[in-house]
Chain A
Amino acid sequence: MKVTFNGLQREVAHVAELLPGRYFCGIGVCFGCVAEINGVPEVRACRHPLRDGDVIRTTP
């Protein structure tokens, strides 16, 4: 999937590859992977099926 991650173009199969150290429980419990996805804030990224063109931003 071709996505934009914090302003950079990335090609990844799963959102876990974008969030090392933050993707942890994988099932929406730990909230480590919370990110803004396509303008929606506070999304648990692990529960989001990645699609081409997705824009993902992690808050500092």
Chain B
Amino acid sequence: MRVVVVGAGPAGMAAARTAADAGAEVVMVDSEPDAGGQYLRGRAKFSHPGVTHLKNTEAWMVEGDVLHLRGPAVLRFDALVVATGAYDRPLPFPGWDGPGVITAGAAQALAKQGITLAGRVIVSGTGPFLLPVATALQDLGATLVGVYEASSPARWLREARAVAANRHKIGELAGYRKVLPRLETRTAVIGKHGDRVTVAKLDSQWRPVSHRTEHADLVCVGYGFLPRTDLLPSASRTDDFLDVDEHQRTSVEHVYAAGEVTGIGGADLAEAEGVVAGAAAAGHKPPANALEAVRRGRLFAGALARAHAVQPGWKSWPHQDTTVCRCEKVRLEDLSDATSMRELKLTSRVALGRCQGRICARNAAELTGVPFDGQRRVIAIPIPLGELADLPEEKS
């Protein structure tokens, strides 16, 4: 019985350990040089009997019971666990494609390596993840000009049940108390020209109602997260996150998913989902405590998604000449009237560049009103043609 796990963050590591302890032969594939994912960034020190950890290895396609890896190489599996995580969603505003604007996740990744890039920084976006990013930057000596949360904290008042079941999450806030005085809600960066940053107060729909100028060298943005679902283009999903059943099974046979690729709920939920997926993938009954942790964590994840949902007023932030697609330099005014994502891509070149729409596709769909049915690519990462040519021929 061979279980292959893609991703070595909290969910992937938990899935790999649990499947190995259940007696499966486990291979954990990860693109980074060290385990830990974006959350632990090389501080995980992963080692577990029965788990082979393939580092610096990118997976690019699932074909039946085979996972294709860069090299080229193939891994056959009896069960596959996809634990590929998620990445920040940026929203476009004038200047977001210029110097001094990076994602909150990029700022966090740099901070974990001891680097801040700038003296005066702003963090702008939505969701509790902004607070650890701001804290990390401040701890490294940056001047925190502001932490701007686009949503209203009042939205959490409707989520009492989820909060009550996850009291430890409130405790986590205490760790970020140093940055709370700099926190402004219903606020966002909607422009940056040099070090002049336009900061707007927003209404409940995120339409700007007033603005002022602040000075900062670096703006870190993150309006929630987009899942890395590339390996499963045909899997069923909701709001682009992979649908899973109570055993973390996706709609694709023998394929499980765990962690942020199924929804955003934090590292503890990701780890619990990993335990459930690892056990189920190895043909065992998932432990009751992990199932209970997933149930509780999902309540919180649902509340988080509702309280910090991106509101449509952001569509008034970009100007006609603001870049929407960074790779192909497609501006708002270049977006055509289209009825489908495919038509929109072919007429404007939006989402056809190197990132294949990972950054812009969702934003372009919302700006034009075309339906967004999730990101579906046959090949998960760009690979040289030579490598495809080296694939072994199929035996008929």
Contacts and interface: CB of A to CB of B under 8 A. Distances in A.
A21 B98 contact: yes
B160 interface: no
Most B Cβ at <10 Å: residue of A14, A29, A47, A49? A29
A30 B327 CA distance: 8
A41 B285 CA distance: 47
A24 B109 CA distance: 11
A43 to B, nearest CB: 12
A24 to B, nearest CB: 6
B88 A49 contact: no
Contacts of B326: 24, 30, 32
Interface residues of A, number: 21
A23 B114 CA distance: 17
A25 B359 contact: yes
Given A21-B99, A24-B106, A30 B115 contact: no
A26 B102 contact: yes
A26 B354 contact: no
Nearest to B100: A20
Interface in A31-60: 31-32, 34, 42, 46-47, 49
Interface of B: 31-33, 38, 87-88, 90, 97-103, 105-110, 113-115, 117, 228, 326-327, 353-355, 358-359, 382, 384
For the complex of A and B, 3 pairs with smallest distance between CB atoms: A26-B106, A20-B99, A31-B354
Interface of A: 13-14, 16-17, 20-21, 23-32, 34, 42, 46-47, 49
